[in-house]
């Protein structure tokens, strides 16, 4: 008996369901007539069409106000950041002198980074500028006129230039080179017309003796004013960022060294507690050897 009742109600439900999907009497599909469905479709079509139009209009208005040559929003950085090459995880340069596989990747990274600095490349692309003053190139009447970049010859980096084919930047003899670069900031005139340079030292003074003498290339770690200002990558296509190399000539092996390099330029603060990379960079060096 119970089974019979169940069967009947099951068949009934199926019939009801079918009638709901398509009711031939009232010609309704899923409970609505064709006109009703048409109106709903029309409503959503108009509604979403309107939204899309509004979005397109807003986008167009915004793009009208964007200059492709200068980033619209730039941090008003008082001080540019600094970075090292080879760029390593945690700014940590650790290697074993006698195991070349522990430093070969550093050498490869430096070779790659310095490729565009080759004297021949620089001579072909860039201009010989007047040292000691900004390479200012006003737009005059032609906006966004391409800007000439100044030569930065790789050979200026002395023993850290890695020019010989088998050069290892000193890693194979435990006198490694680390390159320092100042991040690009558009229309930035550092140093108030006075010469600027990079200074490196052990982070704690008492470790200076163990770190040994540091050699900077170009001499004194100087950065010429002619590499400023930078006008942005669209107009200043061949711009060559100045770099400074520091070589650790006699750093004590098998211990951690903490080094800090700073940009020394008039009117530039490098002691911002909140920004560890404002005009400076700190990194770790460990030379393992027997
Ligand atoms: C850079 O190298 C080129 C070609 O070797 C040379 O003519 C030029 O004087 C060098 N410039 C500097 C600033 O050393
Ligand atoms: C950039 O370098 C190319 C050669 O690589 C040169 O033809 C071009 O004139 C340079 N552009 C500027 C603005 O100096
Ligand atoms: C740059 O110079 C290095 C070392 O002299 C050389 O191995 C490399 O092929 C040069 N690269 C270019 C692009 O000239
Ligand atoms: C640098 O000196 C020149 C000439 O004395 C001056 O016109 C310019 O404004 C100075 N630039 C800065 C950033 O002080
Ligand atoms: C390096 O700095 C010292 C002291 O500031 C100065 O006497 C010397 O002429 C500088 N050397 C170069 C090559 O700029
Ligand atoms: C290198 O440093 C050691 C002590 O760490 C010292 O005895 C030695 O004289 C130094 N050598 C040079 C060339 O500075
Ligand atoms: C450096 O490599 C040598 C040779 O493989 C090895 O004997 C030595 O233990 C390593 N030194 C350190 C401090 O890892």
Q: What is the distance in A from the centroid of ligand 6 to the CA of 252?
A: 8
Q: C-alpha angle with apex 274: 272 to 280, nearest 5 degrees? A: 50
Q: What is the distance in A from the centroid of ligand 1 to the CA of 242?
A: 14
Ligand 3 atom 2, closest CA: 118
State yes or no: pLDDT of 8 exceeds 70: no
For 82-288, CATH number out of 2.60.40.1660, 3.50.50.60, 2.40.40.20, 3.30.2030.30 equals: 2.60.40.1660
Query: Using CA atoms, how far apart are residues 24 and 266, in angstroms rounded to an integer?
Result: 88
36-50, 142-156, 199-213, 270-284: the lowest-pLDDT one: 270-284
Task: Give residue-wise pLDDT tens across range 26-81.
Answer: 888 888 888 888 999 999 999 999 999 999 999 999 888 877 666 666 655 667 88
Could you count the other beta carbons within 10 Å of the beta carbon of residue 111?
14
Rounded average pLDDT over 133-138: 93
Q: Is the CB of 290 under 6 A from ligand 7?
A: yes
**What confidence score (pLDDT) does residue 69 get?**
67
Q: What is the CA radius of gyration of the chain?
A: 33
Rounded average pLDDT over 69-94: 80
Ligand 1 atom 14, closest CA: 153
How do the domains of the chain map onto residue ranges?
14-64, 82-288
DSSP assignment of 67-81 equals -TTS-SS----SS-B
Q: Is the CB of 94 under 6 A from ligand 7?
A: no
100-104, 109-113, 162-166, 217-221: the lowest-pLDDT one: 162-166
Ligand 3 atom 9, closest CA: 115
Q: What is the distance in A from the centroid of ligand 4 to the CA of 69?
A: 25
Q: What is the maximum span of the chain, computed from C-alpha positions, in angstroms? A: 107
Phi then psi for residue 90, to 5 deg, are 65, 20
- Short-list 277, 227, 279, CA closest to 91: 277
Rounded average pLDDT over 16-33: 82
Hey, which residues does 163 pair with through a beta bridge? none
Rounded average pLDDT over 12-20: 82
- For ligand 1, what atom is nearest to the CA of residue 119? 2
Ligand 4 atom 14, closest CA: 192
Whether pTM > 0.85 for this model: the answer is: no
Hey, which residues does 85 pair with through a beta bridge? 179
């Amino acid at each position: 008996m119970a089974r019979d009742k169940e069967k009947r109600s099951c068949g009934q439900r199926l019939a009801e369901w079918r009638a709901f999907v398509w009711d031939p009497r009232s010609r309704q599909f899923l409970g609505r007539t064709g006109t009703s469905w048409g109106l709903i479709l029309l409503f959503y079509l108009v509604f979403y069409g309107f939204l899309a139009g509004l979005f397109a209009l807003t986008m167009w208005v915004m793009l009208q106000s964007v200059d492709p040559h200068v980033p619209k929003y730039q941090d008003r950085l008082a001080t540019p950041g600094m970075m090292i090459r080879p760029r390593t995880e945690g700014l940590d340069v650790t290697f074993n002198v006698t195991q070349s596989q522990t430093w070969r990747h550093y050498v490869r990274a430096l070779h790659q980074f310095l490729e565009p600095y080759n004297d021949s490349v620089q001579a072909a692309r860039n201009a010989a500028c007047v040292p000691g003053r900004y390479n200012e190139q006003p737009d005059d009447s032609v906006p966004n006129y391409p800007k000439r970049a100044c030569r930065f010859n790789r050979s200026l980096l002395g023993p850290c230039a890695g020019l010989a084919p088998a050069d290892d930047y000193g890693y194979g003899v435990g006198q490694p080179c680390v390159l320092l670069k100042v991040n690009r900031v558009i229309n930035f005139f550092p140093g108030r017309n006075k010469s600027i340079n990079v200074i490196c030292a052990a982070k704690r003074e008492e470790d200076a003796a163990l770190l040994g003498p540091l050699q900077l290339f170009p001499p004194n770690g100087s950065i010429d004013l002619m590499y400023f200002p930078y006008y942005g990558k669209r107009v200043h296509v061949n711009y060559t960022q100045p770099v400074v190399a520091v070589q650790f000539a006699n750093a004590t092996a098998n211990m951690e060294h903490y080094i800090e390099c700073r940009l020394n330029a008039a009117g530039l603060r490098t002691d911002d507690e909140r920004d560890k990379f404002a005009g400076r960079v700190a990194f770790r060096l460990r030379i393992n050897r027997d």
